[in-house]
Amino acid sequence: MTHTTTQDFDVLIVGSGLAGLTAALQLAPTHRVAVITKRQLQDGSSGWAQGGIAAVLAEDDSFDAHVQDTLTAGAGLCDLASTRYVVENAPDTIAWLQQLGVPFSQEDGCLHLTREGGHSARRIVHATDATGAAVQQTLIAHVRQMPNITLLEQHTLVDLITSRKLGLPGPQRCLGLYALDGATDEVITFRAPHTILATGGAGKVYLYTTNPDTATGDGIAAAWRAGCRVANLEFIQFHPTCLYHPNEKSFLISEAVRGEGGQLKLPDGTRFMPQHDAREELAPRDIVARAIDFEMKKHGLDCVHLDISHQSPQFLQEHFPNILARCAELGIDITQEPIPVVPAAHYTCGGVLTDLGGRTDIANLYAIGETACTGLHGANRLASNSLLECMVFARAAAKHIQETPITDRPALPMWDDSRVTDADEAVVISHNWDELRRFMWDYVGIVRTNKRLERAAHRIALLQAEIQEFYAHFHITRDLLELRNLVQVADLIVKSAQLRRESRGLHFSRDYPEVAAPAAPTILVPPVQR
């Protein structure tokens, strides 16, 4: 059927994590905003972030030190201007969150600052070990009170609508989007002078991930299809310590556990990090993840152990109440025994290429948060810089939109699915999904080789052909859209990895173990659509 309704707004925001909600709150006083999210407001990755938000607030700390720590973790690939911009805007961002009433942990009437791997000082503002959830809940409460913000849950992005697709003259610009309404099963046309992609990362492209089910790379794939460049997608951060348990698929054991003295051990109780790096457990994540991967393969282990039982029960209750409680539910007493952990895909360092205002290659289209590649993370994200990046660039994009005069709104075509039928075999989608995640884990994981990447590329090409056929002939569903996006992003990850003929940060290739000079980002340019 063909639908005839178009919904009009001043700004469309796709995604309801910290980046999307921050942008919505900044824009609400001046613009009519729609927040489009494919499940509930709280279902993105932001609410799962445990560690905290990095900001220079202590007297013995400095912007230069925070910049330097970021550059060191980023293995020579961070963009200096972007890094400095984020670091210098951090204290202001924390003050804004405090004004909104985020319940940050205090000590003696001041913000408690913790330390994490890769940081040279205590500069992590946190709410115990559930910072993301505390910030997310506070933002949701404020967003719900804003009359200018329309919240559209259970709406999945289908595609962006651009002037090129409509054959309009002038530079390429974004005019709106199509989204599938889960309640009515209809595709709705949304029109707006500005669109912000804040859809998070693509962790679900891997078998083991700390991300929620929503992390399917929707914004990255849609922006690429629309004609945006993407950058540095080979740099997928694997969190070294995800809980290994049959009843828990993605519970993260925070970096801060190692920051507060947690030790990594083999099953026989031997520590192994001293053999891998002088910084031991406080080495950057990529080094720790490779060390664990190496020890697991060497000894044929399903997991390694993270031991913090030398700390007092009172200390653990105070610092890690959620980790303590969740492990206890699964029968693991962390006051007495170590936590079984494995590495898992955690953070997408690359994404849609943007400038310091969150702008993409297409006019009126912005990308913020994990969807974007701002240059901040380089080849490896420094802990607790990501929640910060979400908000700094959300505020920058909002400011740019507020300063931009609203342009004309051309009529947009409705979505037409009159020639498609209902799919008779949903099993095809779930099978392809499983296959993709498994071979990405095996072939494009923590350690890569040319041969593994070739195998992955071959399988992706087969899947793409199958999905394209499905997409053309059948009524779309959220599962199909997510699979289409995941396969697209998997393709971009593999292409990026094949172009990088060196090992740097999160990208480690056995065929090219050395670092090459000069350091340069991997930028993919989409083919021009006729």
| The token pair that represents 380 in the structure block | 């490896």
Check if 123 is active-site.
no
Q: Determine the Cα–Cα distance for residues 339 and 243; give it in Å rounded to an integer.
A: 7
Are the C-beta atoms of 253 and 349 separated by less than 8 Å? no
Class of residue 26 by CB neighbours under 10 A (exposed 0-12, middle 13-18, buried 19+): buried
From 305, 511, 303, 345, select the one nearest 438 (Cα to Cα): 345
Q: Determine the Cα–Cα distance for residues 108 and 518; give it in Å rounded to an integer.
A: 47
Rounded to 10 degrees, the C-alpha dihedral 80/501/483/424 comes to: 170
Are the C-beta atoms of 377 and 141 separated by less than 8 Å? no
Place of tokens 């021009």: 528
Q: Determine the Cα–Cα distance for residues 55 and 36; give it in Å rounded to an integer.
A: 30
**Side-chain-side CA neighbours of residue 265 (13 Å):** 15
Main-chain dihedrals φ then ψ at residue 298, nearest 5 degrees: -60, -45
> Which residues, 6 or more positions from 503, have their beta carbon under 8 angstroms from its beta carbon?
509, 512, 513, 514, 515
Q: Determine the Cα–Cα distance for residues 360 and 352; give it in Å rounded to an integer.
A: 7
Helix (H, G, I), strand (E, B) or coil at 236: strand
From 243, 517, 240, 218, select the one nearest 381 (Cα to Cα): 240
Class of residue 492 by CB neighbours under 10 A (exposed 0-12, middle 13-18, buried 19+): buried
Q: Are strands 304-307 and 33-36 parallel, antiparallel or unpaired?
A: unpaired
Q: Annotated catalytic residue: which of 115, 123, 173, 285?
A: 285
**Relative orientation angle of helices 478-499 and 450-473, to the nearest 10 degrees:** 150
Q: Determine the Cα–Cα distance for residues 163 and 236; give it in Å rounded to an integer.
A: 32
Query: How many C-beta neighbours within 10 Å does residue 464 have?
Result: 15
Cis bond leading into 518, ω under 30°? Answer: yes
Are the C-beta atoms of 355 and 396 separated by less than 8 Å? no
Q: Determine the Cα–Cα distance for residues 58 and 55; give it in Å rounded to an integer.
A: 9
Element (H or E) spanning 237, and its range? strand 236-243
| The token pair that represents 408 in the structure block | 């004309």
Helix/strand/coil percentages in the chain, nearest 5: 35, 20, 45
| The token pair that represents 340 in the structure block | 């079984």
Residues designated as active site = 285
